């Protein structure tokens, strides 16, 4: 039987292992942490449970597909519900918008709260859908680095319609021209943060992301986000995939231009295929020390990172839902601070995720588990202790002002995650959440491919390589990588 070694049990690594197993490989996965899931893991503080990382679940069919691939029912392993409210938005001028999953209700809400006629937003979303339908086969569903991938009707159609992607404009300019109303523009500018970029720099093609959320909706797993990675982990074990948790790979072995296995401490393990789900930067720096790294790819600007406060709150907030956004007043200044000054802005946007709204056991009765996230630059040596303390005070002040509450008195439990800890826990270079940013119109083509052009039998998946970060794209990266493997 052919053998494969997967480095890293993030969701991309587990998905790749499942796909390799289906291809007939005997798969072994090594994970340096003592738990699977990578960023998609969980922990508890007192009586409060928290998802440590990604909090948005959309496009669940990419998860279901892995169960179906192995002739299993996803519902036997995990269940989830579609949200009737995708997100609640709050501004300092007291404007509040509820993004309903129902398109009719959402269009009515935008008209009632922001005065934007339904046909304006419908036209914008139809344009975004057209972009997605054309772009997905080219940018999301195949390698951008194999010439034969361009020789099909879907890809050729995508290339012919390249002008529709608005890659020569930034996302903000596209939104401002088509939507005009400032609150609505800021709502749709926010989607640049889904891949750790700035709406004032990332190309206009990014409007396809909001189509995905509007088209497919947002979901919540019944056991919290961790259940996504945990259920795939259980499926993988059931299918005979071997996991070694708490075991760090020290080296990828290369002989005559071919990956032949890995070294773990003094032990050598051979395999026909090696696939790294580890961030591509430390993969080269730590595991391929004797190889010349792809300097241009690794020199790209890092995506944003975050400071996350996990707060056990001893009160119920009826005006909040699962996903809540409290916007800054000067969005441009916020992203200029992150990407140019490499520090959080004085005026920043706050994201609050509360899974206990849908998973009551995540908090004690009368309480809520708040995942409070502020976008920041990656770790360039800033004083993160000072930054987190300042961000905490400013966040509490901002939320007090908008929600009219004394939040500090309600915080019963607290844990804080800062970019250096993100790097320590997940091996993400500089603690960046999405690998490289997309603040360039050719960024998609500069992401590391899902294979090595210099080392045969070496492949890559996960958020730091093509097609990018976030749960759906990590799952797609596993598919693209394993589709390249015979």
The pLDDT value given to residue 429 = 95
User: pLDDT band at 438, cuts 50/70/90?
Assistant: confident
CATH for the stretch 3-42+57-70+224-300+447-483: 3.50.50.60
Q: Is the pLDDT of residue 138 over 80?
A: no
Alpha-carbon distance 134 to 155, whole Å?
A: 8
Quick check: 443 pLDDT over 50?
A: yes
Residue 440 has pLDDT above 90, yes or no: no
How large is the average pLDDT for residues 95-109? Answer: 97
Mean pLDDT for the chain? Answer: 92
For the chain, the straight-line distance linking the first and the last C-alpha, in angstroms and rounded, comes to: 13
Quick one: pLDDT at residue 129?
A: 87
Q: Rounded CA gap, 245 and 35, in Å?
A: 6
Residue with the larger pLDDT of the pair 136 and 272:
272
Residue 275 CA to residue 21 CA, distance in Å, equals: 13
Q: Which residues contact 478 (CB under 8 A, 6 or more apart)?
A: 12, 13, 15, 16, 19, 277, 461
* Arithmetic mean of pLDDT, 336-354: 97
Overall average pLDDT of the 196-217 stretch: 84
Query: Does the model's pTM come out above 0.75?
Result: yes
DSSP conformation class of 45: E
Judged against a pLDDT cut of 70, whether residue 423 lies above it is answered with yes
DSSP letter string, 228-258: HHHHHHHHHHHTT-EEEET----EEEEETTE
What pLDDT does 139 receive? 66
Q: Which of 11, 9, 52, 14 is nearest to 32 (CA)?
A: 9
| SS3 annotation, 15-31 | HHHHHHHHCCCEEEEEE
Confidence at 471, pLDDT banded by 50, 70, 90: very high
What would the pLDDT profile of 216-243 be if each residue is shown by its tens digit?
Answer: 899 999 999 999 999 999 999 999 999 9
Element (H, E) at 439: none
* 474 phi/psi in degrees, rounded to 5: -65, -40
What is the mean predicted confidence (pLDDT) over 28-44? Answer: 96
* Residue among 234, 231, 256, 251 nearest 243 (CA): 234
Q: What is the pLDDT of residue 159?
A: 53
As a whole-number percent, the residues of the chain with pLDDT over 70 amount to 93
pLDDT tens digits for range 276-285: 999 999 999 9
User: In the predicted model, is pLDDT for residue 113 greater than 70?
Assistant: yes
> pLDDT, tens digit, for every residue of 245-289?
999 999 999 999 999 999 999 899 999 999 999 999 999 999 999
Rounded CA-CA distance 374/310 in Å is: 12
Ranges 48-52, 73-77, 158-162: which has the least confidence: 158-162
User: Where is pLDDT greater, at 168 or 86?
Assistant: 86
Q: What pLDDT was estimated at residue 16?
A: 98
Q: Which of 12-16, 40-44, 62-66, 151-155 has the lowest mean pLDDT?
A: 151-155
Each residue's pLDDT tens digit, 162-178: 556 677 789 999 999 99
Mean pLDDT, rounded, for 413-417: 98
Per-domain residue ranges for the chain? 3-42+57-70+224-300+447-483
* Cis bond before residue 467 (omega within 30° of 0): yes
- In percent, the amount of the chain with pLDDT more than 90 equals 81
Q: Per-residue pLDDT averaged across 407-436, rounded?
A: 96
Whether the pLDDT of residue 150 is over 90: the answer is no
Distances (CA, A) of 65 to 12, 59, 239, 309: 14, 11, 15, 33
Residue 147, pLDDT score: 46
φ, ψ (nearest 5 deg) of residue 287: -105, -15
pLDDT digits (tens, 9 = 90+) for 368-399: 999 999 999 999 999 999 999 999 999 999 99
Q: Quick check: 144 pLDDT over 60?
A: no
CA dihedral 465, 468, 470, 471 (to 10 degrees): -70
**pLDDT tens for each residue of 296-308:** 878 889 999 999 9
């Amino acid at each position: 039987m052919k053998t494969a070694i997967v480095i890293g049990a993030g969701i991309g690594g587990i998905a790749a292992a499942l796909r390799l197993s289906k291809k007939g490989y005997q798969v072994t996965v090594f994970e340096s942490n003592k738990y699977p899931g990578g960023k998609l893991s969980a922990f508890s503080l007192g009586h409060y449970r928290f998802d440590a990382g990604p909090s948005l679940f959309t496009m669940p069919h990419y998860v279901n597909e892995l169960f179906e691939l192995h002739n299993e029912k996803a519902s036997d392993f995990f269940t989830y519900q579609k949200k009737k409210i995708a997100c609640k938005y709050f501004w300092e001028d007291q404007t509040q918008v509820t993004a309903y999953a129902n398109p009719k209700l959402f269009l009515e809400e935008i008209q009632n709260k922001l005065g934007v006629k339904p046909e304006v937003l419908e036209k914008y979303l139809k344009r975004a859908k057209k972009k997605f339908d054309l772009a997905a086969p080219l940018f999301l569903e195949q390698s951008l680095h194999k010439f034969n991938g361009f020789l099909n009707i879907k890809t050729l159609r995508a290339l012919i319609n390249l002008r529709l992607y608005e890659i020569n404009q930034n996302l903000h300019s596209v939104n401002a021209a088509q939507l005009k109303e400032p609150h609505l523009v800021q709502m749709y500018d926010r989607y640049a943060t889904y891949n750790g970029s700035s709406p004032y720099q990332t190309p206009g093609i990014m409007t396809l992301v909001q189509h995905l959320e509007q088209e497919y909706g947002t979901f919540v797993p019944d056991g919290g986000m961790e259940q996504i990675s945990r259920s795939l982990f259980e499926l993988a074990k059931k299918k005979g995939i071997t996991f070694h948790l708490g075991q760090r790979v020290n080296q990828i072995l290369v002989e005559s231009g071919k990956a032949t296995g890995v070294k773990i401490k003094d032990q050598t393990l051979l395999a026909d295929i090696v696939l790294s789900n580890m961030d591509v930067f430390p993969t080269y720096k730590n595991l391929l020390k004797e190889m010349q790294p792809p300097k241009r790819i690794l020199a790209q600007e890092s995506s944003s990172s975050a400071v996350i406060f996990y707060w056990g709150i001893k009160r119920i907030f009826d005006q909040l839902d699962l996903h809540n956004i409290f916007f800054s007043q000067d969005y441009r200044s916020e992203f200029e601070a992150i990407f140019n000054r490499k520090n959080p802005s004085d005026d920043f946007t706050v994201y609050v995720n509360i899974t206990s709204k849908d998973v009551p056991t995540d908090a004690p009765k009368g309480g809520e588990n708040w995942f409070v996230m502020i976008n920041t630059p990656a770790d360039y040596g800033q004083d993160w202790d000072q930054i987190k303390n300042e961000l905490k005070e400013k966040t509490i002040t901002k939320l007090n002002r908008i929600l009219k509450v004394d939040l500090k008195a309600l915080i019963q439990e607290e844990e804080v995650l800062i970019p250096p800890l993100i790097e320590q826990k997940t091996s993400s270079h500089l603690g960046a959440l999405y690998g490289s940013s997309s603040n360039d119109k050719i960024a998609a083509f500069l992401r590391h491919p899902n294979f090595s052009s210099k080392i045969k039998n070496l492949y890559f998946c996960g958020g730091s390589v093509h097609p990018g970060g976030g749960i759906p794209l990590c799952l797609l990266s596993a598919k693209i990588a394993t589709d390249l493997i015979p």
